[in-house]
Amino acid sequence: MASPANLKEESPPLLNARNLELESIDFFVRLMSMLGMPRSVGEIYGLLYFSKDPLPMDQIASRLGISIGSASQGLRTLRSLKAVRTAYVAGDRRDHYFAETEFRRLFSNFIKDEIMPHLDSAKDRIGRMEKSLPNHSSEEDEFYAVRIEKLRRLTKAGGRLLPALAGLLKL
Amino acid sequence: MASPANLKEESPPLLNARNLELESIDFFVRLMSMLGMPRSVGEIYGLLYFSKDPLPMDQIASRLGISIGSASQGLRTLRSLKAVRTAYVAGDRRDHYFAETEFRRLFSNFIKDEIMPHLDSAKDRIGRMEKSLPNHSSEEDEFYAVRIEKLRRLTKAGGRLLPALAGLLKL
DNA sequence: TGCCTATTTCATTTTTTTTTGAAACAAATG
DNA sequence: CATTTGTTTCAAAAAAAAATGAAATAGGCA
């Protein structure tokens, strides 16, 4: 008889693949959401991550039970991060997507696109703060000057560390 | 006559302080929102960051134009991250809050509280994925095994790098 | 060219998150 | 110990974010 202790080896392969897929979707939904991405983006990436073949948009949408609008927008986001790419499939004019799985590159793109622009505008803002400071530094103003300097150091450190981070990511 | 080119030196000090405050609030609202924190949390921290004196909750709320409910919840969040602390003020039984400005410690707390728990549960999930894999590795299964291994490396690298990150933050 | 399929766009709807405000609670004070 | 002041809690309201779906668009193919 089938032993419950051995379920793993006896389940049909397709079921196993489906389990993986579900765990993967769950995994990436959470990861992406930590990075501020909507659920659908995580779902799509999670599905593609464990898909052997590139999938066309309509299959992605129907497999995940999301609208083609969501799928289109989610894929746009993933494309812009270079997290998915398209493959040519002979005799099918739909685009077929597959996951880019080099996480080092993914994070590097993410940092460049989603974080560095904020850092840049933060620098502008700090410049403006300094203009609000009297330049003849009374003891009173010392407090503000120190606080501003801290912000400047923070953004400077961020600007160095974050881009370096992906490089450290030796996977 | 007052020269427009010299506004900076001629504006009354209180106005300058208020400018700083507004820029600070803006700065931290954005930063916190990148870290997934609600607007009110950024506002409170931004206000305290440039405040010479510790402020009681009701003043925080009224100065920011938010409800005391928001202020209470926001301060709870900031307290739990050790991003604000309370000071004793003689003859006043309200708690008075001031900002912790050592960013290194702040990030270290943030990583420990908000990120590491997710990493831990990710490890569990990867374990479950492996259980969905047949152990007699056919060529078919090789694909899945490699993908799972990549996830394992990713979480491992994250678990090492992120806590180290705050240490690198030489401000 | 005109048709047909695939994709994007975007106004509307749905869902999720955040804020509010009033009631409950706590704790110092007279 | 009753009152006053300060804080938390939480159901309801408001705001923000995301998903939907239908119309517009694009672009290959006969």
Is pLDDT of A1 > 70?
no
Tell me the mean pLDDT in the region B127-154. 87
Who's near A60: CB < 8 A, 6+ residues apart? Answer: A44, A47, A48, A71, A75, A97
Amino acid at B121: S
For position B8, what pLDDT does the model report?
47
Question: Which of A4-13, A45-54, B19-28 has the least mean pLDDT?
Answer: A4-13
Tell me the mean pLDDT in the region B122-131. 94
Q: How far apart are CA A80 and CA A74, in angstroms?
A: 10
Q: Which residues on neighbouring strands pair with residue B97, listed in sequence order?
A: B55, B86
Measured between beta carbons, the chain B residues lying within 8 angstroms of A150 are 101, 103, 171
Interface size between A and B, measured as CB pairs under 8 A:
110
Q: Look at residues B69, B74, B70 and name the one whose alpha carbon lies nearest to residue B84.
A: B74
Mean pLDDT across chain A? 91
Tell me the mean pLDDT in the region B103-128. 95
Q: In angstroms, what separates the C-alpha of A83 from chain B's closest C-alpha?
A: 15
| HEC letters along A45-99 | HHHHHCCCCCEEHHHHHHHHCCCHHHHHHHHHHHHHCCCEEEECCCCCCCCEEEE
Structure confidence at residue B137 as a pLDDT band (50, 70, 90): low
**CB-based contact B151:B133 (threshold 8 Å):** no
Quote the Cα angle for A160-A161-A165, to 5°. 130
Q: Which residues on neighbouring strands pair with residue B96, listed in sequence order?
A: B56, B87
**Which residue among A19, A101, A140 sits closest to B132, beta carbon to beta carbon?**
A19
- Report the distance from CA of residue A90 to the C1' of nucleotide D30 in Å, as an integer: 19
Structure confidence at residue A136 as a pLDDT band (50, 70, 90): low
Who's near A158: CB < 8 A, 6+ residues apart? Answer: A119
Structure confidence at residue B13 as a pLDDT band (50, 70, 90): confident
Give per-residue pLDDT as tens, B42-80: 999 999 999 999 999 999 999 999 999 999 999 999 999
For residues A96, A98, A100, A106, the Cα torsion angle rounded to the nearest 10 degrees is: 70
> Does pTM surpass 0.85?
yes
Q: Which residues on neighbouring strands pair with residue B84, listed in sequence order?
A: B99
- Report the distance from CA of residue A40 to the C1' of nucleotide D17 in Å, as an integer: 12
Measured between beta carbons, the chain A residues lying within 8 angstroms of B165 are 161, 165
CB within 8 Å: A157 and B143: no
C strand bases under 7 Å from protein CB: 5-11, 17-22, 28-29
For position B1, what pLDDT does the model report?
45
Q: Which nucleotide is nearest to A67 (CA to C1')?
A: D20
| Protein residues in reach of strand D (CB < 7 A) | A 36-41, 65-70, 73-74, 93; B 56-58, 68-69, 72-73, 75-76, 92-95
Q: Please give the C-alpha separations between residue A17 and each of A23, B22, B45, B140, in angstroms, as whole numbers.
A: 10, 53, 47, 11
Q: How far apart are CA A83 and CA B27, in angstroms?
A: 30
Q: How many CB atoms lie within 10 A of CB A74?
A: 26
Residue with tokens 């004196």: B53
Q: Which residues on neighbouring strands pair with residue B87, listed in sequence order?
A: B96
For position B2, what pLDDT does the model report?
46
For position A11, what pLDDT does the model report?
61
Q: How far apart are CA B143 and CA A56, in angstroms?
A: 20
For position A60, what pLDDT does the model report?
98
Tell me the mean pLDDT in the region A73-97. 96
